[in-house]
């Protein structure tokens, strides 16, 4: 029976992994949160992996507070880059399969077609830069049987996210403005978690590979909010606004659609349409029947 470590156990993706773990009895899962594995404490990290060996490591942990990262660059780098670098070296030492979750923020958002994995990266903020540096650390360490999955706009029935924020604001306000000039694809963390666990035994590569995963289709944040309200029967008026009308400390990609052909072809998976997955999440949340 294979031993699998999931880091970031209490995050959206880690929580979805835990929820699904009972469906994969071929694995013995260890779910590590901050109390078990403090990612900002590199000394504790070394001790942990000296005493624990795993056949596979799924790294769901990350510093994801995009705006706050601009003022906490050292902590962000520690978690998104230096920790990942050490994790890659551990995976190589122990011959562990490594699955690392990255982000569409490694791109500058100036494309006019969905990004493919080989497109140049050009992150526009601390979060994206540290995630890109984490990717590069894995590529440099080059553990075999390792992959990087870039994803986007993640939400879940667990944790805090755009879906839950819109549900709350939609019931508190008669109207609200939502950005319409940033285009991407929402990703239901449940779908991503299921995909990761399905492809885990199929990962056999000599050098690290990069893949893209999000749900199918395209949307703006405005479209996303409209769909949440429509499916949940919330009557609040959603008004489209531009990025300039809602300034934030960190720059967001204006366009970050991800081409998923590579992961679909290499692993033979199908990916649900984003509105179908949103409906599934809202059912889980009890918002719709």
Task: Copy the structure tokens of residue 200.
Answer: 């885990």
CA–CA separation, 162 vs 107, rounded Å?
Answer: 21
Asked if residue 70 lies in contact with residue 126, where contact means CB atoms within 8 angstroms, the answer is yes
Catalytic, out of 105, 127, 222, 255: 127
For 145: left if phi > 0, alpha if psi spans -120 to 50, otherwise beta; the answer is left
Asked if residue 49 lies in contact with residue 5, where contact means CB atoms within 8 angstroms, the answer is no
| Sequence-separated (6 or more) residues with CB below 8 Å from residue 254 | 109, 110, 181, 182, 183, 243
127 belongs to the catalytic site: yes
Helix (H) or strand (E) holding 92: helix 83-94
Q: Which residues are catalytic?
A: 127
């Amino acid at each position: 029976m294979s031993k699998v470590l999931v880091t970031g156990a209490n995050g959206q993706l880690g929580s979805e992994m835990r929820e699904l773990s009972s469906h994969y009895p071929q694995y013995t899962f260890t779910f590590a949160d901050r109390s078990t594995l403090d990612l900002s404490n590199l000394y504790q990290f070394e001790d942990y992996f000296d005493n624990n060996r795993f056949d596979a490591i799924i790294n769901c942990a990350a510093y994801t507070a995009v705006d706050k990262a601009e003022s906490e660059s050292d902590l962000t780098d520690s978690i998104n880059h230096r920790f990942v670098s050490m994790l890659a070296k551990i995976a190589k030492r122990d011959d562990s399969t490594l699955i690392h979750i990255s982000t569409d923020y490694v791109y500058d958002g100036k494309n006019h077609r969905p990004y493919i994995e080989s497109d140049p990266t050009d992150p526009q903020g601390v979060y994206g830069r540290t995630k890109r540096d984490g990717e590069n650390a894995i590529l440099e360490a080059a553990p075999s049987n390792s992959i990087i999955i870039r994803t986007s706009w993640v939400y879940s029935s667990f944790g805090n996210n755009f879906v839950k924020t819109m549900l709350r604001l939609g019931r508190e306000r008669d109207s609200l403005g939502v950005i319409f000039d940033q285009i991407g694809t929402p990703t239901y963390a449940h779908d991503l978690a299921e995909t990761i666990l399905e492809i885990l035994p199929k990962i056999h590569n000599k050098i690290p590979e990069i893949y893209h995963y999000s749900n199918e289709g395209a949307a703006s944040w405005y479209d996303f909010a409209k769909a949440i309200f429509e499916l949940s029967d919330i009557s609040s008026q959603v008004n489209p606004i531009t990025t300039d009308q809602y300034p934030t400390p960190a720059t967001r990609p204006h366009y970050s659609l991800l081409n998923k052909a590579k992961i679909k072809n290499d692993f033979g998976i199908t990916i649900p349409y984003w509105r179908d997955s949103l409906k599934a999440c809202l059912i889980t949340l009890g918002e719709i029947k």
